[in-house]
Chain A
Amino acid sequence: MESLLKVKQAGIAAWAALRELSGDDAFERYLQHHAVAHPGEAPLDRTAFFREEQKRKWDGVRRCC
């Protein structure tokens, strides 16, 4: 039982890592940051956030040879 729980936890951790690596959870992280850093202000919605994010992310050297 305990080992099964461990497997489950490892699976959850791996999924979280994959989401963070790929940027899949960027919006959730943004909401978290926003709630702490700018309380009271309305955050961007998912679509608007993702549009901003992509525009900003590509202004510079991102990839190598």
Chain B
Amino acid sequence: MTTATPIAFATRYLMWPLIALLGAGALGGIAFNRGESINSLWLIVAAICVYALGYRFYSAFIAAKVLALDATRATPAERLADGRDFIPTHRWIVFGHHFAAIAGPGPLVGPTLAAQFGYLPGTLWILIGAVLGGCVQDFVILFCSIRRNGRSLGQMARDELGAIGGAAALVGVLAIMIILIAVLGLVVVNAMRHSPWATSTVAATIPIAMLIGLYMRNIRPGRVIEGSLLGFSLLLLAVFGGQWIDASETLRTWFDYDGPPLALMIIVYGFIAAVLPVWLLLAPRDYLSTFMKIGTIFLLAMAILVLRPELQMPALTQFIDGTGPVFGGKIFPFVFITIACGAISGFHALISSGTTPKLLMNEKDARFIGYGAMAMESFVAIMAMIAACVLEPGIYFAINSPAGLVGAQAAQAVATISGWGYPVTVEQMQTLAQQMGESSLFARTGGAPSLAVGMASIFASAFGSSLLAVWYHFAIMFEALFILTTVDAGTRVARFMLQDLLGNIVPAMGRTSWYPSVFLCSGLVVLGWGYFLYNGTIDPLGGINSLWPLFGIANQMLAAIALCVATAIIVKSGRARYAWVTAAPLVWLVIVTSAAAWEKLFSPELRIGFLVHADDLKAQIASGSITGDAVAQTERLIFNDQLDAALTAFFLIVSWIVVIETARICLAFLRGKQTPAVSETPYEPTQLAEG
């Protein structure tokens, strides 16, 4: 230090201790507050301090010691520059791309569901999981991929762990896609069920996307900003126009459907979207949803900061004992499974390898982009948690509890929920539904409606309360827009992977533009997720109860595979003493996913264990308490339970195979035996000036 002005001195020696103190104070305030409601500002301050400390110190340690980022080393973007995939890009631009790619509906839905335990467990896991787990995973995988010419997670798994690890990773990704699309489809279906306004708005997003696709292809080629702004105005018009459709007696019947027909429509839509050319639907929809996503998240952050609403949800609810109505299962391990993307998401490893690493201008930017973007995503999860917890708990539970559990009649449902100690009345729910422009808000499971109610009340108090219903449907449209983008894009990716797999057996199937193969593989993928989606809509327990944990287990399992690859690379690079950086979150994830999978398989609780639920239904048929038409439907439920159980067992086995392979290879390396060599590309100095 050369010039010791008081301000320089203060920033150098006092700023970080003060941030640490502030963060610790806010966290302590959140954790030990009991009995009275707490302001959302506490959560925001705690979150920002935790991210700042994690970024400033932990990610710096990882960058310097564990990975040894080298600013003088040329990145793939520089060495392989082709003006298309490999483009040296400024770090802020890459950050924007990467954040837009990793932020999806996951961090919004997960915390909303986990709020049934109270705000504390979810919030703590979002913060700790992100700083020590998710951010580390994204950062390390990004680094590994940069050092391997932007190779994908599957390719790296094959190179570093051998054929078994590689195959497990590939099959795991395919299975996750299927479950992910099914559960997200269910979230949208539940948001549109018997809501002409929501359904017509979501339906309008399809022709709007196509119009923008045509505009950007034929009328004004490549004018992305223009096209997006035009589409954005049309989307707003669709949200606004939905209320006129809702008000018209004839028009509203065209858009008023129950869950199962809506599921069928999404299935048909998914197939068409997967075989249509990308420019017509997928690409323009992605532009629109990215604009909407970034804009709305920013708006929500502003509104929460301006408003600083009080949290109505207690810190902990009695449902940590596993009896919660939103989904069955104790706080351990289910809070860690439910939060998924806000804390650590295996899916991010697919973006951190493959797309993003081909853009970095300098290797040292990996810290800001990998670690930083995930911290921001985690902050989105904190905002979703706030939006869920500003609702009165009675209302939150009335919206999120399936009818099969609390009763299909409004009076019955409010009595059950009030009986838990969260008072709510039928009038209150009616008024709320009316304000939001919906016919009913009871049993709208899946998280999207309750998040939309939370967001609408925050937006309305911050920006004008007369538009509550419009804000609600804006929030629904915003969620549906990027969920449908995930449905389209996910189906397509799964189709490519399936074509790739089948291409090994019948070479013609691998040709991505051969129509018989395109139709067959798209159809198989759509049938796969469509099956789970449709059955989710007829499940008396609401579908989310079985599908979301399945998705969570699959997603965390993929994270475990990514951390296995990362740990193997760190060990084989001769840095085994730092392997705990990825090994510790790996061990935790393996414990959590194994415990959750075990419970989903063998728990004696009917709402948790798939097998015991199947046995219970069988016993009911055998004893004759189910008769007539209901028998066939119950047999279907039994089959679904068994299928879900088989899938859970499959996830469990795949993740353990990868973990054991990793342990074997790491031990073999440490004992000096033959292992697959580290596949890092050789050093080349960078020619680019400091950016």
Contacts and interface: CB of A to CB of B under 8 A. Distances in A.
A55 to B, nearest CB: 7
Contacts of A63: 101, 104, 286, 351, 485-486, 489-490
Contact of B97 (A21, A49, A60): A21
B354 A61 contact: yes
Interface in B70-103: 81-85, 87, 89-90, 92-93, 96-97, 101-103
B512 interface: yes
Interface in A42-65: 46-47, 49-51, 53-65
A65 B493 contact: no
Contacts of B180: 65
A37 B92 contact: no
A37 B348 CA distance: 33
B90 to A, nearest CB: 8
B355 A34 contact: no
A21 B278 CA distance: 20
A17 to B, nearest CB: 7
Interface stretch (B45-53, B216-224, B468-476): B216-224
A64 B341 contact: yes
B223 A61 contact: no
Given A62-B286, A64-B104, A51 B217 contact: yes
B225 A19 contact: yes
Residue of B221, B340, B555 ringed by the most chain A CB atoms within 10 A: B221
B228 interface: yes
A60 B354 contact: yes
Contacts of B184: 65
A39 interface: no
Q: How large is the interface on A (under 10, 10 to 19, 20 to 34, 35 or more residues)?
A: 20 to 34
B522 interface: no
Contact of A37 (B83, B103, B489): B83
Contact of A33 (B81, B217, B283, B286): B81
Contacts of B355: 60-62
A63 B152 CA distance: 14
Contacts of B291: 22
Given A50-B217, A51-B279, A62 B222 contact: no
Interface in B522-558: 555
B449 interface: no
Contacts of A20: 89-90, 93
Contacts of B228: 22
A8 B97 CA distance: 25
B104 A53 contact: no
A21 B345 CA distance: 24
Given A34-B83, A57-B283, A59-B496, A65 B221 contact: no
B222 A65 contact: no
A20 B225 CA distance: 10
Contacts of A22: 224-225, 228, 287, 291
A56 B512 CA distance: 12
B102 A54 contact: no
A24 B489 CA distance: 21
Contacts of B347: 64-65
Given A33-B81, A61-B493, A27 B555 contact: no
A59 B489 CA distance: 10
Contact of A64 (B102, B221, B225): B102
Given A20-B93, A49-B222, A64 B279 contact: no
A54 to B, nearest CB: 5
B369 interface: no
Contacts of A17: 92-93
Contacts of B283: 54, 57-58
Contact of B345 (A33, A59, A62, A65): A65
A20 to B, nearest CB: 5
Interface in B286-303: 286-287, 291
A30 B225 CA distance: 18
A40 interface: no
B282 interface: yes
A21 B287 CA distance: 11
A50 B341 contact: no
A58 B486 contact: no
Contacts of A37: 81-83
A24 B341 CA distance: 29
Contacts of A53: 84, 222
B492 interface: yes
A21 B105 CA distance: 21
Contact of A21 (B82, B96, B555): B96
B391 interface: no
Nearest to B284: A54
B121 interface: no
Contact of B106 (A19, A61, A65): A65
A21 to B, nearest CB: 5
Nearest to A55: B278
Contacts of B343: none
Contact of B224 (A23, A59, A60): A23
Contacts of A29: 83, 87
Residue of A33, A59, A63, A64 ringed by the most chain B CB atoms within 10 A: A64
A27 B222 contact: yes
Interface string B197-228: 00000000000000000001110011111001
The 3 A-B pairs with the shortest beta carbon distances in the complex, nearest first, are: A33-B83, A65-B106, A50-B222
17 contacts: A20-B90, A21-B93, A22-B225, A22-B291, A29-B83, A33-B87, A53-B84, A53-B222, A54-B279, A56-B84, A58-B278, A62-B286, A62-B493, A63-B286, A64-B102, A64-B341, A65-B347
Given A26-B222, A33-B83, A58-B489, 6 more contacts: A24-B222, A24-B224, A49-B222, A51-B217, A63-B101, A64-B345
Interface of A: 17-24, 26-27, 29-30, 33-34, 37, 46-47, 49-51, 53-65
Interface of B: 81-85, 87, 89-90, 92-93, 96-97, 101-106, 152, 180, 184, 216-218, 221-225, 228, 278-279, 282-283, 286-287, 291, 340-341, 345, 347-348, 350-351, 354-355, 485-486, 489-490, 492-493, 496, 512, 555
